[in-house]
Amino acid sequence: MTARLTDIAGNVGANSTATPVTVDTAAPTAAVAITAIATDSGTSSSDYVTNDTTLTVSGTHGLLGPGETVQVSSDGGASWADVTTSTASTWSYTDPTTHGTSFTYQVRIVDTVGNVDANTASQAVTIDTAAPAAPSITAIPENGGGGINAGEASNGTPVVVGLAGTGAAAGDTLTINWGSQTVTYTLLAARHLGQQRDGDGASRDDRGAGPGHVRRDGQADRHSGQCRRQLDGDLGNGRHVRRRRRRLRSRPLPPTAARRRATISPTTRR
């Protein structure tokens, strides 16, 4: 490329020194993906649900050409940053932004002149820092007469736990501590009250997670608004309560029920 001047009288000046220009319209073609965040504290280590607000995101990429770089955005593509580290096939980015709410990561490959790879990727991240409110132990029926006898202890002790107002949702974990024992349950997925549900699901209306009521045989009390959890272990009387490993199931409540419930199933016994 050269430049020159011509004055108003028509006199033409000399050309400038030629400057070489390279036109590059070829975009990168390598594949790129997001595969993890740290820390992913959700139910699964790969569900992109976390209570961590300062994250490291990582992934993979195909073979990069000379000068090609992986970039990450967390603001909808308004700004992009080069990844922190990159190997022949992986990349990682330590995000300096504190994320107080849910957002989406985007990743792309760009070359030295700004051509963007068509093979971009994105991943929604759910930020949840709100802890649920404490549940309430509303009754231990077998303890109502002044204590739990050997016969009652031999096949598990029902404990009525209320979840109304806690903000509990499907996938949350309920932990019950009984002396030196710790028993945990996972709240199952739910549908609306009065609707048919899956065999191990639960029914609820749309006013928030509520409790259900499960008898000692694992069947639902059709009109109760509370849920019994089977406990096992040493109840302080020298007898070991038989372990109850079957899934606690419940039938749908009638459409007119005013309360919501959630069915739970044992997940861990320590």
The tens-digit pLDDT sequence of the chain (270 residues) is 999 999 999 999 999 999 999 898 999 999 999 999 999 998 889 999 999 999 999 999 999 999 999 999 999 999 999 999 999 999 999 999 999 999 999 999 999 999 999 999 999 999 999 998 999 998 888 888 788 888 887 777 888 888 888 888 888 889 988 888 888 888 886 432 222 222 333 333 333 333 433 333 333 333 333 344 444 433 333 333 333 333 333 334 344 333 333 444 344 444
Q: Which domains does the chain have, with CATH numbers?
A: 32-127 (2.60.40.10), 131-270 (no CATH)
Could you give the CA distance from residue 196 to residue 187 in angstroms, rounded to a whole number? 18
Q: Where are the beta strands (DSSP E) in the chain?
A: 32-38, 49-50, 56-61, 69-73, 81-82, 85-86, 90-94, 103-110, 121-127, 136-139, 157-162, 173-178, 181-187, 190-191, 202-203, 227-231, 264-269
Full-model pTM = 0.62
